[in-house]
Amino acid sequence: FRESLRRFQGIWGAFSEVVLAEEKRTQRLVAIKCIPKKALEGKENNIENEIAVLHRIKHPNIVTLEDIFESTSHLYLVMQLVSGGELFDRIVEKGFYTERDASQLIHQILDAVKYLHDMGIVHRDLKPENLLYYSMDEDSKIMISDFGLSKIEGADSVMSTACGTPGYVAPEVLAQKPYSKAVDCWSIGVISYILLCGYPPFYDENDAKLFEQILKAEYEFDSPYWDDISDSAKDFICHLMEKDPLKRYTCELALEHPWISGDTALDKNIHESVSAQIKKNFAKSKWKQAFNATAVVRHMRRLQLGTSLEGPSQITPTSPCHGLLLPEEEEEGEEDDLGNGEEESCNKNPCLHDPFVKRHVQYVQSMFRQTAIMLKVHPALHHQHSIKWVQRISDSKLLLTLILIDVFILNM
């Protein structure tokens, strides 16, 4: 596999680079996570855990590890490529969206997570930005990604590390009590809540107050946003967002709920209200505000939540996406890293005449239109841009391909 891959330009993340590659014989595209061995020093257990988890799983709704190899300086993880975009973006792009659509999405997620739990694997970081569409097809399946915080349950190990993303993390995790795979079911409940109204069940600018809400499981089905949502959907959410993990629905029980397995999910179009709230509460500009992990630890100490039994906190940023790099949003000093001038850009990146680029222009244009909606770019300016370079986006380990462009942003 290694010798048959053709590499395209990538972009660096915190500790690794994700690049797009093509198998020469079949022209099949894959994503390769390139990890410098120097960056692994002191973190060997983390990557070994992720690889161990990925090696064990093979499910149609889970991004799979296809191969692994190494050089003297790097470790390479060959991953299945998913290119359909993020969950929220696709919902906003739709013109028609119902409870039944949400139910079908959650059904796929539950089926995949049940598979993980049956394998003794806990994801520990389920959230919308880790849910990707396999392709741009209208009927594309949903895929679960990012197993960096996943854990294999064992008889001799106790999970108590404060990890995950605030807003989706279960109360017992914040309380730093020993927890189980029930934490994933709580997260699915939070995701279900957002899919039906467009805003999170827990929110506060003050971190400590946010944690207090979660610890007490304080959430409401506010009017008018929930007036058109069925009682069955609310009942389903309540069973998953149950404070007591012993009373909380398992994936198996959730799959048997009539909102999932029956016909209680309504067919009324809720797209207008849900998409409006998603754009308001999860807009790209807000997504760029990374959550301060230090603040989490500080506030948890103030709340006297105790000390982790496993190790230091691994709270991850709440920001779902930092992927679209626009000229006016680049920070000082970044220009040289991304390419300064046409000559340097051409040397570092594929030419626009490359067959690979041509095959993906339609996909990229679709992604740009989708992003333009989120960034309030005037439709008349959609084609008033120049393609600058091709690169990989690896935020939250998302496997998306974008052609970065010059655009005019209005009323940001």
pLDDT digits (tens, 9 = 90+) for 257-271: 999 999 999 999 999
Position 150 scores a pLDDT of 67
- The pLDDT of residue 235 is above 80: yes
Domain assignment of residue 322, yes or no: no
Position 49 scores a pLDDT of 74
Domain assignment of residue 360, yes or no: yes
Angstrom distance (rounded) from CA 207 to CA 24:
49
Q: What is the pLDDT of residues 294-323, one digit of tens each?
A: 333 344 444 434 443 344 433 333 333 223
What is the arithmetic mean of pLDDT over 76-85? 87
In this structure, the answer to whether residues 35 and 162 fall within a common structural domain is no
Greater confidence (26 vs 356) lies with: 26
- The pLDDT of residue 289 is above 90: no
In this structure, the answer to whether residues 139 and 33 fall within a common structural domain is no
Residue range(s) defining the domain that contains residue 155? 87-315
In this structure, the answer to whether residues 103 and 235 fall within a common structural domain is yes
Domain assignment of residue 196, yes or no: yes
Q: Worst-scoring range by mean pLDDT, 33-42, 337-346, 383-392?
A: 383-392
What is the arithmetic mean of pLDDT over 213-238? 96
- The pLDDT of residue 347 is above 90: no
In this structure, the answer to whether residues 39 and 58 fall within a common structural domain is yes
Domain assignment of residue 321, yes or no: no
In this structure, the answer to whether residues 29 and 57 fall within a common structural domain is yes
Which is it for strands 17-23 and 29-36: parallel, antiparallel or unpaired?
A: antiparallel
In this structure, the answer to whether residues 12 and 35 fall within a common structural domain is yes
Domain assignment of residue 273, yes or no: yes
Angstrom distance (rounded) from CA 126 to CA 264:
25
Q: pLDDT above 90 covers what percent of the chain?
A: 32
In this structure, the answer to whether residues 156 and 234 fall within a common structural domain is yes
Greater confidence (396 vs 298) lies with: 298
Q: Could you tell me the CATH number of the domain that includes residue 50?
A: 3.30.200.20
Greater confidence (311 vs 75) lies with: 75
Which range is most confident: 275-289, 342-356, 377-391? 275-289
Examine the fold and report which residue of 80, 114, 137 is the final residue of a domain before the chain moves on: 80
Q: Worst-scoring range by mean pLDDT, 8-12, 51-55, 138-142, 164-168?
A: 8-12
Domain assignment of residue 412, yes or no: no
Position 248 scores a pLDDT of 97
Position 40 scores a pLDDT of 74
In this structure, the answer to whether residues 109 and 203 fall within a common structural domain is yes
Domain assignment of residue 167, yes or no: yes
Position 27 scores a pLDDT of 81
What is the arithmetic mean of pLDDT over 228-249? 97
Angstrom distance (rounded) from CA 151 to CA 160:
11
Examine the fold and report which residue of 80, 107, 126 is the final residue of a domain before the chain moves on: 80
In this structure, the answer to whether residues 56 and 8 fall within a common structural domain is yes
Position 386 scores a pLDDT of 28
- The pLDDT of residue 142 is above 60: yes
What is the arithmetic mean of pLDDT over 334-360? 41
Question: Of the candidates 169, 128, 142, which has an alpha carbon nearest to the alpha carbon of residue 281?
Answer: 128
Q: Is 146 a catalytic residue?
A: no
What is the arithmetic mean of pLDDT over 359-380? 42
- If pLDDT is split at 50, 70 and 90, which confidence band does 16 have? low
Measured CA distances, 116 to 153, 168, 182, 302 (Å): 11, 18, 12, 34
Which one from 101, 125, 184, 395 is the annotated catalytic residue? Answer: 125
Q: Which residues pair with 143 in a beta bridge?
A: 132
Q: Could you tell me the CATH number of the domain that includes residue 107?
A: 1.10.510.10
Q: Compute, in degrees rounded to 10, the torsion defined by CA atoms 327, 333, 336, 340.
A: 40
- The pLDDT of residue 332 is above 90: no
Q: pLDDT above 70 covers what percent of the chain?
A: 60
Position 47 scores a pLDDT of 76
Three-class SS state of 378: coil
What is the arithmetic mean of pLDDT over 19-32? 82
Examine the fold and report which residue of 265, 280, 315 is the final residue of a domain before the chain moves on: 315
In this structure, the answer to whether residues 199 and 252 fall within a common structural domain is yes
> Considering its fold, how many domains does the chain have in total?
3
Report DSSP letters for 276-342, one per residue: HHHHHHS-HHHHTS---HHHHHHHHHHTT----SSSS-EEPP---------GGGPPTT-HHHH-SSH
In this structure, the answer to whether residues 333 and 302 fall within a common structural domain is no
* φ, ψ for residue 143, nearest 5 deg: -125, 140
Domain assignment of residue 135, yes or no: yes
Burial class (CB in 10 A: 0-12, 13-18, 19+), 79: buried
Give Cβ neighbours of residue 284 (< 8 Å, ≥ 6 apart): 321, 324, 371, 374, 375
Total-model pTM: 0.67
In this structure, the answer to whether residues 136 and 198 fall within a common structural domain is yes
Measured CA distances, 115 to 121, 123, 299 (Å): 9, 11, 35
